[in-house]
Structure 1
Amino acid sequence: MTTATGPAPGPESSRDEGRDPLGGLTLSRVLGALRLGTRLGPEPRGGRGRATADPALPDDALPDDALLDDACARALRAGHSPVTVVLLREAWDGLGPEERLRVAAPLADDAPTWRGQPAIQVDGTTCGAAVGAMLAAAGDPVVALALETGTVLAGVVDPRLGPLVAAAAQGFDALQRYLHAATTRRVVLGLLPWPRRLGTPPWGLAREARCADVRFRHVVVDVADRTRTSELAARIDVCLRAGTPLPLFTGGASRSGWSTALPRHVVLLTGVESAAAWTGVAPGADGGTGPGAPGASWRVYEPSRGRVLTVDARTWAVPERRDAWGRWSRPHWIVLPR
């Protein structure tokens, strides 16, 4: 799937959708019509605790002990040994207040940084890798510590975690390159590599995505199916409130050229901005709205800018250019918990 860092070509907007009921063809529309890749699967499992830090932790200025305890619990869930967690506690003592927040809650900042540099994708093909890197850091404080300080803690025994932490210690750019290689390896029929110049395919990111002990799968988003997008919105909202960020692939439609009818960019839904639960019906291509929680919005990490922006949860599936979508107009694919 080709990725992009800048505005999408062509005059796509919700007004154009009104003139063209089909809104142009997209790969996700075709797959949705065929009912391929659209099954939502089981509801998210509860009772395991949050996969990422509670966004209220930094805002409520809880004691460092609370941040540290939360970080250590997530490190254990991510698969680290008790020895590594003890070393994480020891490393915590040498961190400053801002470093501690970045290690414990990297998605809490509206402009996330690592080692003082903005968390921006390396190039136009690594938006998916940048999203995967932020997802891993949010769910695994050992990865976040490596990203922030270059420290590789001893005792990492999981064969998948070792290379991930080692790459993170080389910096955010290096972690992106590592994940870009991992997410494009053996993803065509389970044997052949995906061309890296085409970015990250949804199934490759879903296979490699890690957030604490949560594993993922990919689901097609057809914005023409209003019932489906409403169900998806409710599922997304539950996941975000439970502390599980979700990668989302965005793009355009055939009206702007067939190359835009594919997933072109990847962003990360990171949390919920308002306290009110989303209860409405996601608007369809006609722009009609149903009842919902006024002001409810989702936070979105957009890797080409390195910023966390917001999207109205009630209108997330309305085709319209959005800064939070990387200036693309619609969701195409989403990565959900298994």
Structure 2
Amino acid sequence: MSASSVDQQPGNGREPAQLTALLYAMRVWRTKVRHIADPVEPTGQLTAAGRAERAGLDQSQRDQVVRQVAGLDSSWRETVLNPLRAADDGTLQWCGFHVRQPDQTACVPTVLAVQSARGNIALALWLVSGIDTIGIETQLRKVVRDSLPASSSNHDEPQGGEAGSHQAQIAARFGALVRYFQFRATHRGRVRLWPSAWGTPPWGAARVARYGQYRFTSRLVNDLAADSVKHVVGAAVIAADRGVPSVLYVGGDSSTKYRDAVPRHAILLHSSDGAGLAVFEPSAGRIIPVAPEELARSGGPRQAYAGWSHIGWAVVPVQPDV
């Protein structure tokens, strides 16, 4: 899954078609989404203790995370507290490391990794500093094994060393996390309903996505149908406004190529410190502001969609049962 290509073909005079619109007409995956009920304070406004509590850490883990975050220098600490804060040029930077998808098939696991870092301060702390307070590396090594940097351990890394070395270590840890999500979201059972060329299926992403206490569900979107937009995209907007990001699958239609009429890319919808909606677009590694009305209508290619034009699927949070 990748950004839209520029070698578009002219239409053939027929109405543009979308796979998700066809499935919607066949009443496939048209279940309504339960909106998350209680407002959540935007993560960017939380203290380290507040973020640790939201992540569901126990008291001992919270105390350790708060102590470790307090010992970081200011730039590292700001990144840990809000991994979705854009740099001045609009890119997503973690201490100089440009956060973006490593290859064309990794858009979904990339946004899942960023979503998880935003929702779990212990994970963000490990990504930025290498300090592992909750056994992250033990879990990752079951899947990615030797791809973690040798210096990563349960103690802090020197903060006065070479910037390039630090960025390389962040890149290695982030790459391992992306591969972890890619494996977990695509490897389950022998039956594949989603072609591997399309990347990570939305139901696989929903199965592994986590944000604190919230679990996720995948829902098809027909952005040509008002009720579909209201129920699914509306749920994603409400969740983002309340501090919980959602994954949106985007694509094109048959007016360019028939292969474009399926979900081709993924973005992460979130609220930028409670100051408005934005998406993390992983192919460019940028934070791009969006308005709710933009998400509610179909149209031509958009920068926030990496050049694609339609929302085709959404991975949105549901109200916890507890």
Amino acid at match of 1:171: R
Could you give the per-residue CA deviations for residues 50-88 of structure 1, whole angstroms, max 9, x where no partner exists? 4x61x4x3xxxxxxxx6222222123x2xx332222221
Q: State, as a whole percentage, how many aligned pairs show the same letter.
A: 27
- Deviation per CA, 1:1-50: give whole Å up to 9, x if none: xx1134454279xxx9xx86x4x111101111012112223232326x44
2:207 is the counterpart of 1:215: no
**Which secondary structure does the structure 2 equivalent of 1:99 belong to?**
helix
| Cα distance in 1, alignment partners of residues 67 and 112 from structure 2 | 27
Q: From the superposition, tell whether residues 274 and 118 of structure 1 become closer, same or farther in structure 2 (CA, over 3 Å).
A: same
Is the Cα contact below 8 Å between 1:122 and 1:173 reproduced in 2?
yes
1:137 match? 117
Check the 8 A contact 1:112/1:306 in 2, yes or no.
yes
- Please tell me whether residue 306 in structure 1 is matched to residue 304 in structure 2: no
| Partner residue, 2:83 | 106
Q: How does 1:161-180 map to 2 (within 5 A)?
A: 170-180=172-182
**Residue 111 of structure 2 contacts residue 268 of structure 2 at CA under 8 Å; is this kept in 1?**
yes
Q: Which moved more, 1:166-175 or 1:89-98?
A: 166-175
Number of equivalences: 290
CA contact (8 A) 1:220 1:333 kept: yes
Distance 1:188 1:9, change over 3 A: farther
Q: Structure 1 residues 161 and 210 mapped into 2: Cα distance closer, same or farther (>3 Å)?
A: farther
Deviations 1:141-161 (A, max 9, x none): 01101111122115679x979
CA contact (8 A) 1:233 1:313 kept: no
**Which 5+ residue runs of structure 2 have no aligned equivalent?**
153-171
SS in 1 for 2:28: coil
- The one-letter amino acid paired with 1:5 is A
Are the counterparts in 1 of residues 111 and 282 from structure 2 also a CA contact under 8 Å? Answer: yes
Write the mapping of 1:1-338 to structure 2, written as runs, cut at 5 A: 3-7=1-5, 9-10=7-8, 22=15, 24-46=16-38, 49-50=40-41, 53=43, 55=44, 57=45, 67-75=47-55, 77=56, 80-109=57-86, 110-154=90-134, 170-186=172-188, 189=191, 196-271=196-271, 298-316=277-295, 317-338=297-318
Alignment CA distance shift 1:318-1:272 (3 Å): farther
Whole-angstrom CA distance in 2 between matches of 1:28 and 1:34: 10
2:8 partner amino acid: G
| Structure 1, unpaired ranges of 5+ | 58-65, 276-296
